[in-house]
Structure 1
Amino acid sequence: MKISIRKGAAEDLPTVLGVLDSAVVWLNGMGITAQWGTESFSGRPGAVEQVRRTMSEGDPWIAEVDGVPAGTMTLTPHPGRHVPPAAEPEVYVRLLATDARFHGHGVGAALLAHAEEETRRQGVSLLRVDCFAGSEGRLVAYYEGRGFTRTETFAVDGWEGQVLERRV
């Protein structure tokens, strides 16, 4: 399976929401409801606005397999509002998700490799991401397996998060 990654734009909001919605269904099917809840992103106006705003703050990227959206991420020069910015220039991975149809096929890894390339291209050496720290830390372990190291933790309304970073 060949994964290609293209730069997204504001008009890709429905595509990004579709990938996020698919990821929620997949997570729920695995019994993971605390990460992104049980409702679709596209069915929650506040979530749609948050995704739109995040995309407008940075560069959205769409991973495709044979022209079919398989994953997404948005790279911003700062984290979301619940994480303090770094004390140096950074690239922050946000809204990273894989469409359920492509889970386990390396889409997330391809997007993270692209994030590293983009970080270098921008002349920045710090790449950061945050993720859900629950579910026995499986997502934290996923990022650690891709060279990220844990930094600080945070909580938002009982939702436990972990910030990770990687030097590129």
Structure 2
Amino acid sequence: MRIRDGNGGDVPAVLGMFDGAVAWLTARGRTGQWGSRPFSADPARVERVTSWAASGGMRIAEIDGEPTGCAVLGSPMDYVAPAPEPELYVQALVIDQRFRGHGVGSELLARARSEAAERGVSLLRVDCYAGDDGRLVAYYESQGFTRTESLTVGEWPGQLLELRLPDPAGRV
């Protein structure tokens, strides 16, 4: 698996990943996370993915040259208060459902940890959908994140999580 910086040419593939994830969730009756409408059919979501591609924070995982997942790294989402210390925030994480179970998400999160360390940042945060059976929160916990606070965006129940990295300055 290779992880590279994303760009505008990746927008169709990333929209396809989101569309596949929405279809997968919808087939399981789990529409609370992203609804049931494909991202590619929603102009606001197309614009969001396009802006992520232009932000410099999009990372694309590839297997044999084929895009298999995407993470977007940057500042906290507008609905999350910035941390009182430097941080790196996982704004989005999605995988191509054909590669489910291949460790794509884990590799993208490992890349986020590495980038945080390279930047001298000891806090990595993410928020995720906290509804239904809580499997997404459990996934992030399995990746080393710890719950910090619950949040609600409109009707969407979310969970903010953090991962503490070793302090680059050696402070305790």
TM-score, with structure 2 as normaliser: 0.91
CA distance, structure 2, for counterparts of residue 133 and residue 58 of structure 1: 28
CA distance, structure 2, for counterparts of residue 32 and residue 104 of structure 1: 19
Number of aligned residue pairs: 165
Q: Supply the AA of the counterpart residue of 1:127.
A: L
Unaligned runs of 5+ in 2: 166-172
Within-5 A mapping of 1:89-100? 89-100=86-97
Q: Supply the AA of the counterpart residue of 1:143.
A: Y
Backbone CA RMSD of aligned residues: 1.2
CA distance, structure 2, for counterparts of residue 74 and residue 139 of structure 1: 17
Percent identity over paired residues: 53
1:50 Cα deviation after fit: 2.0
* SS of structure 1 residue aligned to 2:85: coil
Q: Supply the AA of the counterpart residue of 1:68.
A: E
Unaligned runs of 5+ in 1: none
Partner of 2:12: 14
Q: Does 1:118 align with 2:118?
A: no
What does the per-residue CA deviation read over 1:85-124, in whole Å, with 9 as the maximum and x for residues that have no partner?
1111111112200111011211111111111011111111
Partner of 2:46: 48
1:134 Cα deviation after fit: 0.6
What does the per-residue CA deviation read over 1:3-50, in whole Å, with 9 as the maximum and x for residues that have no partner?
211111233222221111111111112221110110111110011112
Tell me which structure has the larger Cα radius of gyration.
2
CA distance, structure 2, for counterparts of residue 165 and residue 68 of structure 1: 30
Q: Does 1:61 align with 2:66?
A: no
TM-score, with structure 1 as normaliser: 0.93
Partner of 1:127: 124
* SS of structure 2 residue aligned to 1:42: helix
Alignment partner of 2:106 out of 104, 109, 115: 109
What does the per-residue CA deviation read over 1:119-149, in whole Å, with 9 as the maximum and x for residues that have no partner?
1111111100000001221100111111100
